[in-house]
Chain A
Amino acid sequence: MTTAIAVPEEREKLTKKALTADHPTWCPGCGDFAVLAAYYKMLERRQLPQENIVTLAGIGCSSRFPYFVNTHGAHFIHGRAVPLASGVSLSRPDLHVFLFGGDGDGFSIGGNHLEHGARKNINLTYVIMDNFVYGLTKKQTSPTSPIGFKSKTDPTGAIDHPVNPMKKLISAGATFVARSHATQVNHMIQMMERAMDHQGFSVVEILSECVEFFPGAFDSSIPRKGGTYSLIDEKKWDDTPEDEARHDVTDEIAAYRLANLPFPGLFGVFYNIDRPTKNAMEKKWISDTRAKTGNRSDLEILQKTFDRMK
């Protein structure tokens, strides 16, 4: 496999066509199509080396994502994609790690991993396609289902207090936390691109309607259906009196305040701070440790260890 393969010098432009893989198996009208389109657009815009893009996912309708993108990818198990992606990110700094999944995958079965990935500030971009329901398993209550939602597991309406994704992510220690909407392609691209450029654990929650099992879930946030779609007005730091009232994305308390607004709330970046990533800190530890060994060869280091055990 490794014998002298002629590698073309010239790289072709990374087009949507080049990025397209299997035809999505989602139901017609599913919000996830738009998220996929936004991802293609962002990748086209950024022209990263194709072989260095990694598209990962857990299990769920939304987690089918990797099959539809022509990049290296892995379709993992339910709820564990954050540590999988962390393993890729920590061992291969040359790669761009993108992770896609659903609300059940991220906030329920994977909730603990989400907490720790965020706390450790692992450098990756995580898009959660939140449809407030379990789609793949056909309409059970999800951790983001609103109280009263009638599902097959709550036939008289959901009773458990739902997760507030923004609050959960901020309190866990995620360093970039944004919210977007599958009907707003440009906004999604913007958010994904900022998430990708952020060094650290960056999450974009995208409200993405499951037309099959929770149709109309997000109508109150879709203007053409009579809803309101309002963006966060971020501080421009321009010393104008208007700027006073704008949102400081580094202000944790202010971010919680926005996250507490009743549904549909606001869209945009809630929280964005710089904190050293685990990747950077481990890298420093590794290079300091290497320096202490005198950057010796693997064989020399192990031999020295064995000499001490004699």
Chain B
Amino acid sequence: MSTSPVVEEPETPPPTPGGARADLRPEHIREAVIRLAGNSQDGIQSAGAFLARLAGRSSQDVMTYMTIPSTISGGASIFQVRIGSGEVLSAGDEADFLVAFYQHSYDEHIHHLREGGVLLYDSDQVEPDPEEKRFVHVGVPITGLTIEALGGTAKDKGKNIFTLGLLSKIFNFDVEKLKKLITERFGGKSEDVLNTALMAFQSGFAYPVGNVLSRLYHFEPADASAQAQITMDGNQALAYGLIAAGVRYGAGYPITPWTSIMEILRSEFPKYGGLFVQAEDELGAVSLALGMSYAGNLSVTGSAGPGISLKTEAIGWASMAEIPLLVVNVQRGGPSTGLPTNVEQSDLYQAIFGGHGDSPRVVLAPRTVEDCFYVALEAARIARKYSTPVFILSDTSLATRIEAFDEPDLSGLMMNPAPDISPRDQEYKPYALDHLTHHAPPGSRMLGDKYPVVTGLEHDEMGHPTGSPKLHAAMTAKRRRKLQELAKEIAIPEIHGDPEGEMLLVGWGSTYGPISEAVNVARERGESLSSIHLRHIHPLPEGLAQIFSRFKRVLVIEMNDEGPYGYGQLASILRARFCDPKIHSLTKTDGLTFRVREILEGALK
């Protein structure tokens, strides 16, 4: 991070983009962090998304970060895109380019621009501090030019696309690819809308920005052999992962930041012959999903913290009745309505322990947008095999950011959605003590003539309610053993960095990027730092004790509170599990993702 990502590379300058001054020397760069700061109604999210998608199409690595105000329309909002020719792990601590649409955008975000960075501002709206000499100032009358280009009714709507044109010139983006993306995006609407967008883009691109900027930039080509890239946000990746996992039914109730998953599933499931139902509330949603799962269709429900709280009684039933279920929690700041549009990892306890009684459930957490796709497959596999509820703990940051990742090989991944209603023989016991429960959904003929009743009451092997102390102990153990069996089959996490040394960072969920980047930066500086990232959080994989034993200190990094005893939620669990005083905790609760710098400071102080 200390080195400027803008690297001068004088060899073989690419052809100067059209319209630029002939003496402008394009600079080759490996990556750039571009922050767009404006108001949410200006469509800066969609401009940012275009950039992300373009990068993905150019096989570049990309990661975005955005904040959206929780107010319905308007409010300050940013979209940060980090585009790189190598691996991009986080959205970047500091921006190389800041595009400020308003004075407040400038005032709030100028501190996020690195020294020597470029401030591109709408000179119709922003007056930068004239004393400020640390940045390259580039003023463009974005509002005026957009109105001029589009005329009359559009007012300044289209500033985002105008700016996209401007950035395309500055970064020598592939204009044809971008126009194609714009056409794909707006082509479905009226021809007018598309033409307006293309006009805005064209006039941004034609603006002689070369007169005010001393250089233009050119991304180094990414690895030519790179696989095709898919560009999407974490909620999309999770939703499509569920589809690949053969999940065809589900129910939910809207709540930020889970909502877009249910919106996608509502429109997508019918294409596959399935159905997602908008329920009257979360109690109804989880119950509907359990009805679908009981009927043999592994189903999904989801929410954010407040809604998960409402689902907990029914999830306890799923543990007891041994009905598989996927529960997605896209975490936000809590408790209560909390910080609805900010990120936090404070629902870990809730996922693991948030039920009455001993109610084992599995908890998984995706680490990247790409992993949101694959974690859904893993969750579905586990739910089916162990006939148990499985939590997927995502968060606001994964939900809303866009990343490009290698296209998955779908043909090798698709799971079979069909319910197993094959006849069950005389031996069938719904809750056999000596092997895993395999639920017989309605429609299955019971050749022993005894039809099963699944139940939330403690029961014997045939499902009859029982108060027998022996059976409750045996059944509780049976349900718990599923987690012990599962722990044996999940992979030991890989160590990033040296396999032994001074300090091991432990993370889970969306902190993967900044933690890994912090390790890279520290190692470049010659410090000993390593990390592991937990995807299976409950149960924990085996082999962690051996990994911990090779490090002097273990520091667990997470976005939640340190609690009364000074340890975050995962840190507390690891300390309870390993009774190891060298396990320490680095937490934060400002509702923002970890910066690489914060991790380095916490780890190396």
**Which A residues lie at the B interface, using CB under 8 A?**
1-2, 5, 7-8, 18, 21-22, 50-55, 66-67, 70-77, 79-92, 94-95, 112-113, 115-116, 282, 285-286, 289-290, 292-293, 298-299, 301-303, 305-306, 308-310
Contact of B5 with A by CB under 8 A: no
Contact of B220 with A by CB under 8 A: no
Q: Tell me, rounded to whole Å, the shortest Cβ–Cβ distance linking B250 to chain A.
A: 9
Inter-chain CA distance A91–B269, complex, in Å, is: 12
Per-position 1/0 for B476-504, Cβ under 8 A of A:
00000000000000000000000000000
B284 near A88: Cβ-Cβ < 8 Å = no
B314 near A87: Cβ-Cβ < 8 Å = no
24 A-B contacts (beta carbon < 8 Å): A1-B424, A1-B425, A5-B422, A50-B451, A74-B453, A76-B456, A80-B283, A81-B287, A82-B284, A83-B251, A83-B283, A84-B288, A87-B291, A87-B293, A87-B295, A87-B299, A90-B275, A91-B299, A92-B296, A282-B270, A299-B414, A301-B271, A302-B240, A310-B57
A310 near B407: Cβ-Cβ < 8 Å = yes
A88 near B295: Cβ-Cβ < 8 Å = yes
Q: Chain B residue with minimal CB distance to A91?
A: B292
A22 near B464: Cβ-Cβ < 8 Å = yes
Residues of chain B with a CB closer than 8 A to A50's CB: 445, 451
Residue among B229, B281, B292, B452 with the most chain A CB within 10 A? B292
Q: Tell me, rounded to whole Å, the shortest Cβ–Cβ distance linking B377 to chain A.
A: 12
A286 with B275: in contact, given A91-B249, A302-B410, A305-B240 (CB under 8 Å)?
A: yes
Residues of chain B with a CB closer than 8 A to A67's CB: 453, 455, 464-465
Residue among B275, B285, B453 with the most chain A CB within 10 A? B453
A67-B453, A72-B451 given; 9 more Cβ-contact pairs under 8 Å: A1-B428, A84-B287, A88-B292, A88-B294, A113-B287, A286-B273, A298-B272, A299-B411, A302-B240
Using a CB-CB cutoff of 8 Å, which residues 286-340 of chain B contact chain A?
Answer: 287-297, 299, 313-314, 317, 321
Residues of chain B with a CB closer than 8 A to A8's CB: 447
Contact of B115 with A by CB under 8 A: no
Q: Tell me, rounded to whole Å, the shortest Cβ–Cβ distance linking B8 to chain A.
A: 32
A72 near B272: Cβ-Cβ < 8 Å = no
Inter-chain CA distance A83–B281, complex, in Å, is: 10
Contact of B352 with A by CB under 8 A: no
Inter-chain CA distance A95–B442, complex, in Å, is: 8
A73 with B452: in contact, given A87-B287, A91-B275 (CB under 8 Å)?
A: yes
Q: Tell me, rounded to whole Å, the shortest Cβ–Cβ distance linking B527 to chain A.
A: 39
B453 near A75: Cβ-Cβ < 8 Å = yes
A5 near B423: Cβ-Cβ < 8 Å = yes
Residues of chain B with a CB closer than 8 A to A81's CB: 287
Residues of chain B with a CB closer than 8 A to A95's CB: 295, 442-443
The 8 A-B pairs with the shortest beta carbon distances in the complex, nearest first, are: A87-B291, A83-B287, A72-B442, A73-B453, A289-B270, A116-B280, A87-B288, A80-B287
Residue among A67, A80, A113 with the most chain B CB within 10 A? A80
Residues of chain A with a CB closer than 8 A to B249's CB: 87, 90-91
**Which B residues lie at the A interface, using CB under 8 A?**
53, 56-57, 184, 228-232, 236, 240, 243-244, 249, 251, 268, 270-275, 277, 279-281, 283-285, 287-297, 299, 313-314, 317, 321, 407-408, 410-411, 414, 417, 419-425, 428, 438, 440-447, 449-457, 464-465
Q: Tell me, rounded to whole Å, the shortest Cβ–Cβ distance linking B15 to chain A.
A: 26
Q: Tell me, rounded to whole Å, the shortest Cβ–Cβ distance linking B493 to chain A.
A: 28
Q: Tell me, rounded to whole Å, the shortest Cβ–Cβ distance linking A104 to chain B.
A: 16
Residues of chain B with a CB closer than 8 A to A305's CB: 240, 268
Residues of chain A with a CB closer than 8 A to B244's CB: 302
A5 with B447: in contact, given A72-B442, A83-B288, A112-B280 (CB under 8 Å)?
A: yes
A83 with B275: in contact, given A5-B423, A76-B456, A306-B230 (CB under 8 Å)?
A: no
Of the candidates A75, A89, A113, A286, the one whose C-beta lies within 8 Å of that of B456 is A75
Q: Chain B residue with minimal CB distance to A65?
A: B453
Residues of chain B with a CB closer than 8 A to A84's CB: 287-288, 290-291, 294
Inter-chain CA distance A270–B24, complex, in Å, is: 84
Q: Chain B residue with minimal CB distance to A64?
A: B465
Of the candidates B271, B291, B452, B453, the one whose C-beta lies within 8 Å of that of A289 is B271
Residues of chain B with a CB closer than 8 A to A1's CB: 422, 424-425, 428, 438
Inter-chain CA distance A51–B440, complex, in Å, is: 11
Q: Chain A residue with minimal CB distance to B184?
A: A308
Residues of chain B with a CB closer than 8 A to A79's CB: 283
Inter-chain CA distance A299–B271, complex, in Å, is: 11
Inter-chain CA distance A309–B232, complex, in Å, is: 7
Inter-chain CA distance A276–B289, complex, in Å, is: 23
Inter-chain CA distance A279–B171, complex, in Å, is: 53
Residues of chain A with a CB closer than 8 A to B279's CB: 83, 116
Residues of chain A with a CB closer than 8 A to B295's CB: 87-88, 91-92, 95
Residues of chain A with a CB closer than 8 A to B410's CB: 299, 302-303, 306
Q: Chain A residue with minimal CB distance to B277?
A: A90
A88 near B289: Cβ-Cβ < 8 Å = no
Residues of chain B with a CB closer than 8 A to A52's CB: 442-443
Residues of chain A with a CB closer than 8 A to B274's CB: 286
B230 near A94: Cβ-Cβ < 8 Å = no
Q: Chain A residue with minimal CB distance to B296?
A: A92
A310 with B230: in contact, given A92-B296, A298-B414 (CB under 8 Å)?
A: yes
Residues of chain B with a CB closer than 8 A to A18's CB: 449
A87 with B451: in contact, given A5-B425, A302-B414 (CB under 8 Å)?
A: no
A87 near B292: Cβ-Cβ < 8 Å = yes
Q: Chain B residue with minimal CB distance to A109?
A: B283
Inter-chain CA distance A76–B251, complex, in Å, is: 17
A76 with B442: in contact, given A1-B428, A67-B464 (CB under 8 Å)?
A: no
B270 near A285: Cβ-Cβ < 8 Å = yes
B275 near A115: Cβ-Cβ < 8 Å = no
Residues of chain B with a CB closer than 8 A to A94's CB: 443
Of the candidates A2, A83, A90, A285, the one whose C-beta lies within 8 Å of that of B284 is A83
A290 with B291: in contact, given A80-B284, A90-B277 (CB under 8 Å)?
A: no
Q: Chain B residue with minimal CB distance to A55?
A: B453
Inter-chain CA distance A8–B447, complex, in Å, is: 8
Q: Tell me, rounded to whole Å, the shortest Cβ–Cβ distance linking A248 to chain B.
A: 31
B283 near A74: Cβ-Cβ < 8 Å = no
Inter-chain CA distance A71–B295, complex, in Å, is: 13
B284 near A113: Cβ-Cβ < 8 Å = yes
Q: Tell me, rounded to whole Å, the shortest Cβ–Cβ distance linking B313 to chain A.
A: 6
B455 near A75: Cβ-Cβ < 8 Å = yes
Q: Tell me, rounded to whole Å, the shortest Cβ–Cβ distance linking B62 to chain A.
A: 13
A51 with B443: in contact, given A73-B452, A88-B295, A113-B283 (CB under 8 Å)?
A: yes
Residues of chain B with a CB closer than 8 A to A116's CB: 279-280, 284
Residues of chain A with a CB closer than 8 A to B53's CB: 309
A51 with B444: in contact, given A1-B424, A115-B280 (CB under 8 Å)?
A: yes
Residue among A82, A90, A299 with the most chain B CB within 10 A? A90
Q: Tell me, rounded to whole Å, the shortest Cβ–Cβ distance linking A211 to chain B.
A: 22
